[in-house]
Structure formats: structure tokens, C-alpha cells
Amino acid sequence: MRLTRLAIKNHSRLAPTELEVRKHLILVGPNDVGKSSVLRCIDLLLGASTGQLYNRIQFEDLADPDKPMLIEADLRGFNATDKALFPDELTVDTATGELTLTISLEASFDTNKTLSVDRRAPKSGIQRQLSVRQVEAFGWNLLSATAVNRDIRDGRRTPLDDILQLVDLGTERDDFKKLFDAVEAQLGKSKTLKRLRASLASQLSKALPVELTKDELAFTTGTL
């Protein structure tokens, strides 16, 4: 399934917005114009668990605290697994005849500033909220630009790296290195991963000023 429409209302950092999404969506603009807020709204709607929703949505997010903040999206392009997961939520678009899944998230605060969140498929007539499995099926993951810069730059270390660095592997280090080298070689030869690298290169080329090839991308085990 894929996102085809996004609407946001009563958000304190965004004007009422409705976007049509075709094959892909690229947000372009200077700092502090709302690009990250749009991505955060998509993440709240399609990626966050119920617990995360109550942890992340703040009273200050609402432009008018007396009205709910609304995030709504349409999705299309369902396979058999998707249809089985959303048997009651899918509707038929009267204009195109396509199956459509409309998901909405409404967040509101009462007079005591207690948050209430409702995420469901409003056009289906089903009042229940989306299940954990249904949210997971969207397959949405948000990786912030700062996280990418932090995690992929040369020399980046995690706490686990620091712990392992204190362990003296002795003669076993060579054995582990041979295993790592063998895995690296298999990652490079894998036909499945070659197809994946080609697909990733094609998608990245659409968003970058230069064209990438699959040979410029690699899967790696890291360093020992």
C-alpha cells in the first residue's frame, strides 16, 4: 500500500494543509517552515504506537486548544495481505473505483489538559481504533536527518562498540574476522541484495542531484 493524500488541520506550526501524493513526495524549503512537522504528523498517524501517541502529542501542538488536531491520510495499492488485515476498513472510491483506506487521527485535550487520541478508519463506519498489527502493516519508519548524520558518519561509535572494545578476544579475533569477511563476501554476491541495492539506488537517484548505481551501495557488517 502507498500514501496518496495527506491532510492536517489545527496544528500550531502548520497552516491547514492538504497534499496529493503521487509516486513519491519530496518536501523542499528553508529551515523552520514546517517540513519536519509534516513528517512528524505522518509518523504519528502511520508509525507511532498508542503509547507513543500519548507520549509525543503535546497541548502546544494544537493551534486552537478547543478543537481537535486532525491528521488524515488516504492509502491505495493493496495486496492480498493488506486486504486481509483491513477487511472492514477499505472503501471503494466512487470516482475511480479503486479501493481506498482513509486513516484519521484526532487528538484533543479536555479542560484539565488530559489528552484523548482516536485513530481509526472514519469512512468505513467502524468505530474501533486501529490494532497494533494494522499500524505495523503500514511499514512506516521515520529516520531524522540528524540521526542519519550522527549514525553513518565515520568513527561513529555506540555504547555496545565501547563495551566490546574493552574485551580482549586474543587469538579468537582472527576467527571472528574470518567469519565477518565471509559474511561481507556473501552480502556482496547475494542476488537478492543486488536487486535491493538496485532498487535503493533508483529511489535515491530521484531525490539526489546525481544518479547512483547499485555498485555504489553496499551492505556491511561493520568493524570488529
Predicted confidence pLDDT, tens digits, the chain (224 residues)? 999 999 999 999 999 999 999 888 888 888 878 889 999 999 999 999 999 999 999 999 999 999 999 999 999 999 999 999 999 999 988 888 889 999 999 999 999 999 999 999 998 888 889 999 999 999 888 876 555 444 444 455 556 666 666 778 788 888 888 888 899 889 889 999 999 999 988 888 887 778 888 888 888 876 55
What are the phi and psi torsion angles at 2 (to 5°)? -145, 155
CA 117, chain centre distance (Å): 20
Q: How many helices (H) and strands (E) does the chain have?
A: 8, 6
Q: What pLDDT, on the 0 to 100 scale, is given for residue 127?
A: 81
Q: Which amino acid is at 48?
A: A
Query: Is residue 91 within 8 Å of 123, Cβ to Cβ?
Result: yes
Under DSSP, is residue 64 helix (H, G, I), strand (E, B) or coil? coil
Grid cell digits, residue 185: 563476501
Query: Is residue 144 within 8 Å of 152, Cβ to Cβ?
Result: no
Beta strands (DSSP E) in 62-191 are 69-76, 91-92, 99-109, 115-120
Q: What pLDDT, on the 0 to 100 scale, is given for residue 162?
A: 64
Q: What pLDDT, on the 0 to 100 scale, is given for residue 132?
A: 93
Query: Is residue 102 within 8 Å of 119, Cβ to Cβ?
Result: no
Q: Which residues of 44-64 are buried (b: 16+ CB within 10 A; e: fewer)?
A: bbbbbeeeebeeebeeebbee
Q: Which domains are assigned to the chain? A: 2-145 (3.40.50), 157-216 (no CATH)
Rounded distance between C-alpha atoms, residue 90 and residue 80, angstroms = 12
- pTM more than 0.85: no
| Burial category of 101 from C-beta neighbours within 10 Å (exposed 0-12, middle 13-18, buried 19 and up) | buried
